[in-house]
Amino acid sequence: VSKGEATRGSLQYDSIFAVGLLLFVVTLVINIIAVRIVRKYRTVYQ
Amino acid sequence: VSTLETPSPPPPPSATATVRPLAKKRARPSEQLFKWLVVGLTAITMAMLIWLITSVLIRGAGSISWSFLTDKPSSNPAKAGFNSALRGSVVLMMVTIFFAWPIGVAAALYLEKFAAQSATLTERRLRERLTTGRVSGLGAGWVHARLWWLRIRPRVVHLIDVNISNLAAVPSIIYGLLGLAIFVGVMGISKSLLAGGLTLAVLILPIIIIAAREALRAVPISIEQGAMALGATRWQAVRSQVFPAALPGILTGTILAMSRAIGETAPLIVVGGVVFSTAVPSLNPLEAGNEALLAMPLQIYFWTDQPQASFQAIAAAGIIVLLATLLVMNLVAIILRNRYSKRW
């Protein structure tokens, strides 16, 4: 969709950012869950 | 990440202490099955990799020549060369490393050696200063502010920790959007090698921070404590003992981060688009703001997008050049690690 063709301020341009934001939020949520799980089951040696 | 290993069961007590030869011990069927499953999956992965590389080699080997490396791009596939893309990638790497390395290493030093340290002593000293009444007015406010910071610091550091590990996992196209919005949109940098390099710098920043922290953590704490016991401040101990000892590890991590950056396509496409340009970028990184965004992965992407079969061949040749570059970078990283890694 965007090979540098989308012009600034257009609907296309904005929706790319909306989808990007969604992708970021999904990654963040998965990571937070992962950190929780790791912290819960981590065994500390020594 | 430490994994939990189940301890092997203790050997059964036997009255007669005869040792059974190991060769007679047979693996359980489920164990055997699992072993072959793992071996088979590894073989499938390796086979796919070999198939990919050989198909690229077969298609591209015919187009590789010295003039392919020195010619500029052309709409005629027989004349088209990889030189602009090579130069573009070199300048990109220079810009990226110039911005990402100092910031990344400084952040790692702070997070690992200063922010993570216990603040009990500083806290006690600050409280003493308050109770003895040696400070007043603005000075007391400053002391209170520092105490407050020491109290919330662990939480802030944890928040940063989570964010760094998240940023290292975020799809790279997000960084392209970030670069487009911040560097091109807000800061007004043209869609150039500079904008692309800055975007890649942000992309590898979390990777460099994680690698540098790992390298710093690998230096035994006794080195630092020894220096401090001899009267060095923490900064002196870190600067003259811990940092030099961790430097090979940090450099290895940096090279691996760069080899990640050199192959990135998606963020560059978002920032600069795929442009056809016969311009040959200058190798001077100070000119990066005026040069069209050209890089090896972009050129390969552009060629694979063309309908003619002869462009596919030079795209394969471009892939070979990119793979060779990556191989050399990783080789340097491995040599660096083997030569300078210390066992404490």
Q: What is the 3-state secondary structure (H, E, C) of chain B?
A: CCCCCCCCCCCCCCCCCCCCCHHHCCCCHHHHHHHHHHHHHHHHHHHHHHHHHHHHHHHHHHHCCHHHHHCCCCCCCCCCCCHHHHHHHHHHHHHHHHHHHHHHHHHHHHHHHHHCCCCHHHHHHHHHHHHCCCCCCHHHHHHHHHHHHHHHHHHHHHHHHHHHHHHHHCCHHHHHHHHHHHHHHHCCCCCEHHHHHHHHHHHHHHHHHHHHHHHHHHCCHHHHHHHHHCCCCHHHHHHHHHHHHHHHHHHHHHHHHHHHHHCCCHHHHHHHCCCCCCCCCCCCHHHHHHCECCCHHHHHHHHHCCCCHHHHHHHHHHHHHHHHHHHHHHHHHHHHHHHHCCCC
Tell if the CB–CB gap between A8 and B185 is shorter than 8 Å: yes
Q: Which of B331, B300, B327 lies closest to B63 in space, CA to CA? A: B300
Q: Which of B253, B183, B186 lies closest to B216 in space, CA to CA? A: B253
d(CA A23, CA A42): 28
pLDDT confidence tier of residue A1, bands split at 50, 70 and 90 = very low
Tell if the CB–CB gap between B177 and A3 is shorter than 8 Å: no
Residue B50's pLDDT is: 96
d(CA B297, CA B265): 6
Give CA separation, B219 vs B101, B210, B234, in Å.
Answer: 20, 15, 15
Residue B201's pLDDT is: 96
Low-confidence ranges of chain B (pLDDT < 50): 1-2
pLDDT confidence tier of residue A3, bands split at 50, 70 and 90 = low
Residue B25's pLDDT is: 65
Residue B95's pLDDT is: 94
Residue B312's pLDDT is: 87
A7 touches chain B (CB under 8 A): no
Residue B1's pLDDT is: 47
Tell if the CB–CB gap between B269 and A38 is shorter than 8 Å: no
Handedness of CA B178, B181, B183, B184 (dihedral sign): positive
pLDDT tens for each residue of B207-242: 999 999 999 999 999 999 999 999 999 999 999 999
Residue B202's pLDDT is: 95
ipTM over 0.85: no
> CA dihedral defined by B63, B66, B69, B70, rounded to 10 degrees?
-130
Chain B residue whose CA is closest to A1: B270
Tell if the CB–CB gap between A41 and B4 is shorter than 8 Å: yes
Contact in structure between B127 and B147 (CB atoms under 8 Å): yes
A-chain residues near B270 (CB < 8 A) = 2, 4, 16
B162 touches chain A (CB under 8 A): yes
Q: Which of B118, B110, B119, B185 lies closest to B146 in space, CA to CA? A: B119
Contact in structure between A1 and B177 (CB atoms under 8 Å): no
Mutate to test the interface with B, among A12, A28, A38 (most CBs of B within 10 A): A28
B191 touches chain A (CB under 8 A): yes
